[in-house]
Structure formats: C-alpha cells, structure tokens
C-alpha cells in the first residue's frame, strides 16, 4: 500500500482497529470459557460413545 500524506495516518488507524489491539480481559475470559466448553462437550461425547459400544460386548 503506497500512500502518502494524511491518508497514511488514516490507514494506520484503520489497521489498528482491525487488529483488535484493544481487547479487554473480559473478552479473553469469554473466549477461554467457550473453548473449555467445546473441549468438555467433545470429551463427554467420546465417553458416551465408548460406553454405548462397551454394553454390547465384543463379538468376533
């Protein structure tokens, strides 16, 4: 991006907003809780699947 003059400052301000340098600690907490919930749900789903397959017994 080649630009000069006042537009350069506007361009820098735009990219600062896009990058999201101003994320609060609440944002990080919400993201961490959401990721933990996804992991817990995945583990529970796998455990439930394994319990179901164990009830039938192994036939070979």
The residues spanned by each domain of the chain are: 23-60
Q: What is the pLDDT along the chain (60 residues), one digit of tens a residue?
A: 565 667 788 888 888 777 766 678 888 899 999 999 999 999 999 999 888 877 655 555
Cβ atoms 14, 3 nearer than 8 A: no
Angle, alpha carbons 13-21-26 (nearest 5°): 140
- The predicted model scores a pTM of 0.52
Residue 9: how many CA atoms within 13 Å on its side-chain side?
2
User: What pLDDT, on a 0 to 100 scale, did the predictor assign at position 40?
Assistant: 97
């Amino acid at each position: 991006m080649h630009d000069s003059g006042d537009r350069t400052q506007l361009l820098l301000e735009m990219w600062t907003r896009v990058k999201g340098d101003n994320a609060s600690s609440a944002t990080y907490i919400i993201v961490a809780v959401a990721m933990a919930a996804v992991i817990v749900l995945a583990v529970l789903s796998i455990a439930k699947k394994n319990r179901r397959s164990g009830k039938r017994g192994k036939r070979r």
